[in-house]
Structure 1
Amino acid sequence: MAKYSVVDKGECIACGSCGSSAPEIFEYDGEGLAENIFEGDGNQGVKAIPEDLEEYLAEAAESCPTECIKVADTPFN
């Protein structure tokens, strides 16, 4: 089943954990806050994360100290 993800930037502390766990999915904006960049998603949570990256997505979400990475089975928008 497809997974979708967004980052709650209001909770992000720019620790770098998600970018090191899943660099194909997460990158940092001009303020250093994480965002979902997978296939140009723009942190909207509408691009399905492929199955071969789901393990990295789960690792990033689990390692986030503020739990700002949200993961769902349906698109966010």
Structure 2
Amino acid sequence: MKCEIIPERCIACGLCQTIAPEIFDYTNEGIVLFVGEPEATHEFIPKDQQSAVIESAKRCPSHAILYQNS
């Protein structure tokens, strides 16, 4: 699965980081980023973490997280 984050849409609610802390982190301003890859906007998600990413995307109020099954 490929995941895309759109920081410009992020409203800094922190929900994604609460649901999937192994995938999502946030800047000092609270804007979403990938753990270990602060400049990346796309990342491959391992199978064992995909359900958390899907849940994060579904619950993101600003639709700043997208995913695509491959």
- Give the TM-score taking structure 2 as reference length: 0.84
TM-score (norm: length of structure 1): 0.78
Give the whole-Å Cα distance in 1 for the aligned partners of 2:32 and 2:23. 10
Question: What is the CA-CA distance between 1:6 and the residue it aligns to?
Answer: 2.5
CA RMSD of aligned residues (A): 1.5
Contact 1:4–1:73, Cα closer than 8 Å, also in 2: yes
Moved >6 Å (runs of 4+): none
Q: Which has the higher strand share?
A: 2
Unaligned runs of 5+ in 1: none
The answer for unaligned runs of 5 or more in structure 2 is: none
Query: Which of 53, 56, 67 in structure 2 is aligned with 1:57?
Result: 53
> How many corresponding residue pairs?
69
Alpha-carbon separation, structure 1, partners of 2:4 and 2:27: 14
